[in-house]
Structure 1
Amino acid sequence: MNDTDISVGSRSEASVSGRVEPSMKKLEEGKPRKPKRSIGTILAPYLFSFPAFAIVFVFVVIAALNTFRLAFTDSTLLIPGKFVGFQNFVEVFHDEYFWTAMLNSTLYVVCVVPFMVILPLILANLVRGNSKIMGFFRTAFYTPVVMSAVVVGMIWTNLLDSKGLINSILETTRIIKHPIPFLTDRWLILFSAMFVTIWLGLGYYMVIYLTALANIDDALYEAASLDGAGPVRQFVSITMPGVRSTMVLIMMLSTIAAFRVFNEIYVLTNGTAGPGGEDITMSMLIQQQGTGIQARTGYASAISLIVLAVVGTMLIVQQIVQKRGED
């Protein structure tokens, strides 16, 4: 290659680069420029979320930290108290009411949670569809969820009273000779409250299951029908595996709600926790110890931490069992 060829090549490269650079500039000029965001635009999302964040911070975060602090003091409603270490926890474990409340709350979880997991799923499977009659049943089953605790208490107190509707019907039909003590017997009060809890929660968890059932492909049911599978077989082999993650979620939610039950027992016993306080639950024990002029806020805070530890342990165990079942 001689000098003439080199000079020609360099001129051609220069001419090409000269043509490319203006074209690139035109392309850059043709691109829409991003508008500059003002300070107000940047801060607007944070300003909208600040009230919710402030409420959560004050009434959840600070309250939780204050509960943890009070659990190690002998403070009352009117006296700040002083640091006493683990004295409150030692006293709690020697309190017979605490163990009664622990027994009742644990029994509540064992009896209520299985029904809360299975019955709403069966109910949701029955009311699937877009027909008007199915819409009516879904609304009817969900109605108890939006009812207040006072209304629910009045309804079931009148139904379960010794002179209430249920006993009156049973006595009139001569099925029983004496009224059943739904609201005066220790165990009947507890199981009556469990029934009310299940009645209240069916509609709520049914709606959650309906959302999960909508994600199951209908072709699976059609294929199962062609293979001769009946409704029960389809429910066990298709529906339950299809909503497994939702079942775990509902199990966790119902476990927390059952162990922290308060309204049903309080309303049915008129705040007395049954004869001799034998139907007391953990939440009622916290309420009794932490409210009133003679409230022992430090002692109640210690019980609250124990409840937190127990519920957390239950959730961890459920997660471990779920992972082992999936493996």
Structure 2
Amino acid sequence: MNMNTAPHLNISGLVVRYPGAKQNAVDGVDMQLARGEIGVLLGASGSGKTSILRALAGFESLLAGSITLEGQCIARAGHGLPPEKRRLGMMFQDFALFPHLDVAANIGFGLGRLSREERRTCVADWLVRIGLDGFANRYPHELSGGQQQRVALARALAPKPAMLLLDEPFSALDADTRGRLASDLRQLFREAAITVLMVTHDQQEAFALGDKVGVMAGGKLLQWDTPAALYHQPACAEVAGFIGRGAWVDAASLGLTGGKVRLRPEALRLDANGVLACEVLDVRFHGPGQVARLKLGADEIELDLAANSQIKPGEHLRLSFDGENLPRF
């Protein structure tokens, strides 16, 4: 984001606490998105990521902080625009299509301000953009899960909202459909030049879609950064432990000084002259290859193996490692 350009979305010092709760659901969160950026919030259940989405949508009031969208303060402590005044498009886990309306009527539902002809043109355009041209007269129960998701997305985007909010949009879909749609949606968001904030628990989805990704825990935003920075330069041990695969090992067991090191499988390689002596505990298939669980001193680590590897439990291996980019805390 250009430092001279005001952010499209600016969340400052956001605090949300539910009635009767002793702790904040969201605790002092700051984050920004530029126009057209896709942001994704990652975290375990109860981490506060959905509460941020709900506060942004106007479903929860703010205990402290502010939310500014397109230069307008839409919420602050003690005040907030009603949800219908915030110009936000929303799509939730179950898509919430109207079962008694066909595809065209679902997409056109929020276009009441347009004339009948303008609405028909807009719906036809979105049917083409989501790859469902010819499906206008079908009903939700006649569509696959992926097709229903595309219709729900078109319905959210057709009124040209200032921003789009997505709450676990792929959770009801199978793995193959999720993978295909993630790529398609990123392209669709780019074409629509829409700013997006999405909540998910799936790291692959977050990294596939997000320009910025945030890791949340205990109501706090631990780091808000690019996917590459999160992976290679985690701000704290909690982020390093949450992102990607790996195990914490004592730096001393690697011949390094100080603290713990996040040892990731891609940093390891079989090497008869390697400095690490390990015992194979088990080997499992992890398509397209295999993954070995190894004992390294008092720690356990993982090593990726080729599909045709003959390594078996009980064997002793020597490994070398690339320590240059390993997170250390």
User: Which TM class, normalised by the smaller chain length?
Assistant: under 0.3
Would you tell me which structure has more strand in proportion to its own residues? 2
Which protein has greater RCO, CA pairs closer than 8 Å, 6+ apart?
1
Give the TM-score, by structure 1 length: 0.23
Rg comparison, structure with higher value: 1
Q: Decide which structure has greater helix share.
A: 1
